[in-house]
Amino acid sequence: MILRRLIDNIKRQAWTAIVIEFVIVVIGIFVGLQVNNWNAELANRALEATHVRNLAKDIRSDIAEIDRILHVSSVRMAVLSRVLVEASGKPLPDGFDSARGRIEIERVPPFADNDPNTVGIALFILSSLDGNRSTYQTIISTGGLGVIRDTGLVREILDYYAAVDGTRHFESDLAQNRDKLIDVERQLGISPVQARTLAEYVAILHASAPLLATAQNYWLYTNRHLKLIGELRANAERLAKHLEDASGGVR
């Protein structure tokens, strides 16, 4: 309709009418574009809120898993610390100087004589981080990070999942050290499922230099794991709080 009037006005050289029609067309196009942009922005904000909310839930799930891992690793560290001291007759160091700087030994509750955890099983059990990455993988595969406007939060998300990957990579090394300990135990005719008292395991360690050395190495790896998983938990708690705060502010 507007195009037909515009053609008629051009034929009649009605320049004022032509200008008016032209302005109407431009305004119409502009308004249409603005409406489209507004709708797209609303969709992005809704998607941002969904991503942030679901990420917060995933991180909280990770924290619960990390707490279970911390408990298992703390028990293992306590067992190793106790048997190594008694088997070697020497106190364990409280840290080491290395090329990366001072490595402190993580503190855990001591392993008591009446502790219900079986020594062999405590050394055998190894909990590793799986993590809930469903939302993060969806975001990455769809390019959804771009809808999160807070660039600092985006960086924090990326750093957290990079730390998760680093921890999982280290846990592969930790598992190899656990397997080495189990192999030496088997060569000595020991099974993790055999119910041995603390004193019995200490006696076995004292009599076997290879087992003692392997246990010392496993102790060091367990210490590193405790540090990594503890730092990851702190990062996860901080990120979850930031995501929860952001989800309340996304409109």
Give pLDDT tens digits for 132-156: 899 999 988 888 788 888 899 999 9
User: What is the sign of the dihedral through the CA atoms of 219, 77, 196 and 181?
Assistant: negative
Element (H, E) at 243: helix 209-249
Q: Give per-residue pLDDT as tens, 97-131.
A: 888 788 899 999 999 888 877 888 999 999 999 98
Burial of 31 (0-12, 13-18, 19+ CB in 10 A): exposed
Q: Helix (H, G, I), strand (E, B), or coil: what is residue 178?
A: helix
Q: What is the pLDDT of residues 61-86, one digit of tens each?
A: 999 999 999 999 999 999 999 999 99
Percent of the chain with pLDDT over 70: 81
Res 246 pLDDT > 60:
yes
Cross-strand partners of 102: 97
Answer yes or no: is pLDDT of 48 > 70: yes
Ranges 24-28, 33-37, 63-67, 207-211: which has the least confidence: 33-37
Cβ neighbourhood burial of 237 (10 Å; 0-12, 13-18, 19+)? middle
Tens of pLDDT, residues 170-183: 999 999 999 999 99
The pTM for the full model equals 0.81
Q: Do the beta carbons of residue 110 and residue 78 sit within 8 Å?
A: yes
The radius of gyration of the chain from alpha carbons, rounded to an integer in Å, stands at: 31
- Please give the pLDDT value at position 251: 46
